[in-house]
Amino acid sequence: MRGIWGGLSLAYPFLIYYFSDDFSMSCPIAPLLYPVMMSFGVAAFFGGSLLFPPPLIERIARLSEPNLGPKGVAYTRKVTMAWFIFSLLNA
């Protein structure tokens, strides 16, 4: 999990600049970038969980079913991949 947050911390300077009034006033497309950046953020979260197991959906599934079998692990990995791809396409 540390690797995911480390990667996202690189985006903090951009996000601070993006939400500052200077950038919002000087860039007319700034409000249009917000949903795109949110989708990329969600994609980074899901993609990062694929790189640093266990995947996010598996973590959620294990809250209700701690003894998840191999089929369940494979399925949750595919669902995490689907959310990652959806978030990228949504951006």
pLDDT of residue 73: 94
Q: How many residues does the chain have?
A: 91
Residue from 53, 48, 52, 46 nearest 79 by CA: 46
Q: Alpha carbon 28 to chain centroid distance?
A: 26
pLDDT of residue 1: 45
Whether pTM > 0.75 for this model: the answer is no
Return the number of other C-beta atoms located less than 10 Å from residue 4's C-beta. Answer: 17
The one-letter code for the residue type at 79 is V
**Count of CA atoms in the C-beta half-sphere (13 A) of 44:** 15
Per-residue pLDDT tens over the stretch 37-91: 888 888 998 999 999 889 999 999 999 999 999 999 999 999 999 999 999 999 8
